[in-house]
Structure 1
Amino acid sequence: MNPRYLIINCDDFGQSKPMNEAIMQLLEERRVSSATLMAPAPGFEEAADWCKRKGQTNVGLHLTLTSEFDAVRWASLTGHPSLHDESGHMHKTVEAFERHADTGAVMKELAAQYEALRRFGIQPTHADNHMGSLYGMATGRSHIPQVLRQCAKWKLPFRLFRKVHPADPLLSSIPGVERIVAKASSLAGVMGVAIPDYLLSHPFHIEEGETYELFKQSMIGKMYDLPEGISETYIHPAVEDSFMLERVPHWEKRVWEHKLMLDDDFSYAVKDAGIVLTDYDYIRKYGRASRIGSAFILIRELLRK
């Protein structure tokens, strides 16, 4: 069997103090591969300053265009009206963002978020996207070509994927997902942007009847079913916090994700399954596809009816 590599990324670093506390612990104890920083969020400066003081090198950029929770909201860094709702914060839903955001304003905002990390002396290892707002999943209005062009300029890998794992309940259920993935991944190849082979998702919310033990067994099962190649999975870990638990939907799931990374059963399963934990530096070195081959795939997909 060929090696199976896995990146475990902590999304939403900088969202709030309870998330920062959990992610800092997991990074310091090397329980995860990396984390991605949310530059517009209220906990960003705390998280970025910690990364600078600790010399943390496995931190990326969580491109943030939405602000979904009433209890924790934020505005854009650039202040363009199309990026905000009537409250003056970033749009709460991906659909609202896709319908209202000006593309030029989006790109200026992404550049400002990148520069926010650089001001703290942080060179991002990669970029990904909060809530998938740039992918066009709500209305079909995608910013992926522009984002890939920007990542090529920054020389950063980006969270896309080449293949859909059939056992992934979320991604495999999207109509026409194979063609969508083929177009996006081949465009990344043409632009020289490195990406993983697979993205492994799991429900953000607590499903009916779900307990921590059921969640843990589900995640352990994914480790034994991991496909060959380079996969990424993402978590949103947080510590227990009464304010957040009361005001943020499914906060308990975030606490579970933190607990899972510290759970000896999960650590054992990763080793027992023969998985090699890696990070986006490995993607940067080995995650690029042939530009010529990618161009042929892209042309084929664009010509298909």
Structure 2
Amino acid sequence: MSNARNKHLIINCDDFGQSAPMNAAIMHLLEEKRVSSATIMAPAPGFEEAAAWCKRRGQTNVGLHLTLTSEFDAVRWSSLTGDPSLHDESGHMHKTVEQFERHADSAAVVKELLAQREKTLNAGISLSHADNHMGSLYGTATGRTHIPQALRLCSKWKLPFRLFRKVHPSDPLLAGIPGVEGIVAKASSLAGVMGVAIPDYLLSHSFHVEEGESYDRFKAMMVAKLYDLPEGISETYIHPAIEDARLSAEVPHWEKRVWEYRLMLDDDFAYALRDAGVNLTNYDYVRKHGKRSRAGSVIALARALMSK
């Protein structure tokens, strides 16, 4: 067993409140302490069920999943504020990140994020952190980012936020983004300037079922990540769900969500966590250890802005 006890991992369940099958899986994993946390979607149709459960249990490791898109025909939702720029022709939030980036008014985005936090707090949830559904705030589709606005709000709310300081070279998604190192340097430095705590790494995996992928192959890939985990604070995110006949038929790659739920309950995965010397932690640890000095962050941001 590795002696490296400075490898900390957050496993966050995204999309809490999206639907009843996702709620069931996430509640179970939180109850069994198989994951670190979850982030809840205030505009989604399963929000009330998820929020009532959190309030009843006094759940302290639930964050806010800032939601500006609604991607599945089978499960759609509208914004809380009703601003036309946040909706497509159906009256629901935009299906894709690109549509959101092209059409959303920035002032309307901020107003919506404020409304989502207010709804969650009014439901009796004490928020632990914030992140973003589908990465719509990051500017990955057109370059139109809302990260400065999100960080300003998180600074005001005193909440850690899902960003990262470094890109792990083996990450299959993030490492392939052109210019990602420079983008990360600017965003993480801005977080430091604003006093927002963030993790060191974000570890991703494909949302879709890859060609030839099976549960066993998926498990082997996720276990390998544990042994390759960098030192510092890493976060990975999953979208667990239980089997559901309707959504399995109507939501693309629903099977992958069921695999993620199964994996968190798999004894092999639990053993690998221990054997790899990984500390399963949460955003309370990020809040305490994930900040950088403002002065140093100002210097780092200036360098990042001046670099090509």
Residue matched to 1:21: 24
> For 1:175, which of 160, 178, 185 is the aligned residue?
178
Letter in 1 for 2:45: P
The answer to whether the 8 Å contact 2:44/2:76 transfers is yes
2:88 is aligned with 1:53? no
2:67 is aligned with 1:81? no
CA shift, 1:231, in A, is 0.2
Residue matched to 2:38: 35
Q: How does 1:1-16 map to 2 (within 5 A)?
A: 1=4, 3-16=6-19
Letter in 2 for 1:43: G
CA shift, 1:123, in A, is 1.6
What number of residue pairs does the alignment pair up? 305
SS of equivalent residue, structure 2 residue 128: coil
The answer to whether the 8 Å contact 2:16/2:47 transfers is yes
Q: How does 1:232-247 map to 2 (within 5 A)?
A: 232-247=235-250
Instruction: Name the CA distance, whole Å, in 1 between partners of 2:306 and 2:54.
Output: 46
For the aligned residue pairs, the C-alpha RMSD in angstroms reads 0.6
Q: How does 1:150-169 map to 2 (within 5 A)?
A: 150-169=153-172
CA shift, 1:264, in A, is 0.2
Instruction: Name the CA distance, whole Å, in 2 between partners of 1:38 and 1:81.
Output: 20
CA shift, 1:212, in A, is 0.1
Residue matched to 2:252: 249
Residue matched to 1:90: 93
> For 1:196, which of 183, 188, 199 is the aligned residue?
199
Instruction: Give the unaligned 5+ runs of structure 2.
Output: none
SS of equivalent residue, structure 2 residue 28: helix
Instruction: Give the unaligned 5+ runs of structure 1.
Output: none
The answer to whether the 8 Å contact 1:135/1:143 transfers is yes
The answer to whether the 8 Å contact 1:99/1:139 transfers is yes
The answer to whether the 8 Å contact 1:2/1:229 transfers is no
Residue matched to 1:112: 115
Q: How does 1:191-230 map to 2 (within 5 A)?
A: 191-230=194-233
Per-residue deviation, residues 234-268 of structure 1 (Å, max 9, x unmatched): 00000000000000000000000000000000000
Residue matched to 2:188: 185
Residue matched to 2:291: 288
> For 1:67, which of 58, 70, 80 is the aligned residue?
70
Instruction: Name the CA distance, whole Å, in 1 between partners of 2:206 and 2:306.
Output: 34
Residue matched to 2:134: 131
CA shift, 1:2, in A, is 5.7
CA shift, 1:99, in A, is 0.2
The answer to whether the 8 Å contact 2:197/2:290 transfers is yes
Instruction: Name the CA distance, whole Å, in 2 between partners of 1:198 and 1:301.
Output: 18
Instruction: Name the CA distance, whole Å, in 1 between partners of 2:263 and 2:149.
Output: 36
CA shift, 1:290, in A, is 1.1
Letter in 2 for 1:178: E
Q: Could you tell me the TM-score, scaled by structure 1's length?
A: 0.99
The answer to whether the 8 Å contact 2:5/2:277 transfers is no
Instruction: Name the CA distance, whole Å, in 2 between partners of 1:180 and 1:207.
Output: 27
Per-residue deviation, residues 270-301 of structure 1 (Å, max 9, x unmatched): 00001001000000011001111111010011
Q: Could you tell me the TM-score, scaled by structure 2's length?
A: 0.98
Instruction: Name the CA distance, whole Å, in 2 between partners of 1:230 and 1:168.
Output: 15
Structure 1 segments, 4+ long, off by >2 Å, are: none
CA shift, 1:139, in A, is 0.2
The answer to whether the 8 Å contact 1:6/1:231 transfers is yes
Instruction: Name the CA distance, whole Å, in 2 between partners of 1:119 and 1:160.
Output: 26
Per-residue deviation, residues 23-59 of structure 1 (Å, max 9, x unmatched): 0000001000000000000000000000000111100
The answer to whether the 8 Å contact 2:25/2:261 transfers is yes
